[in-house]
Amino acid sequence: MAYEIKRFPYAGTVDADGHVLEPPDLWEQYLPAKYQDRALRIKVDDAGFEYLEIGGQPSRRSRGGSLGLLGAMGD
């Protein structure tokens, strides 16, 4: 069976769910100095998996290894 390309029913429709990937050091680079200790950071654990750190604590909402999953596509 051939793959069918799905089309939006309205002309000019834009899918805005573009999954923009910010640079990993974005918050450390551009956040004012007084907020640096609370900056979001991407860290790597002992097993080599990335995890999100918020205010110096690992995020409870993201799992290790899931952050940069598609970040290098096309490189």
Which pLDDT belongs to residue 48? 86
Mean pLDDT in consecutive groups of 10 residues from the start of the chain, 75 residues:
76 71 82 90 86 87 66 51
The number of domains in the chain is 1
Among residues 23, 22, 27, 24, the alpha carbon closest in space to that of 43 is found at 24
Q: Is residue 13 part of a domain?
A: no
Which pLDDT belongs to residue 70? 52
Q: Is residue 2 part of a domain?
A: no
Total residues found in the chain within this entry? 75
Q: What residue numbers bound the domain in which 54 lies?
A: 20-68
> Rounded distance, CA 4 to CA 54, Å?
42
Q: Is residue 10 part of a domain?
A: no
- Among left, alpha and beta (phi > 0; psi -120 to 50; other), residue 34 is alpha
Under 8 Å between Cβ of 30 and 41: no
Neighbours of 70 (CB within 10 A): 9
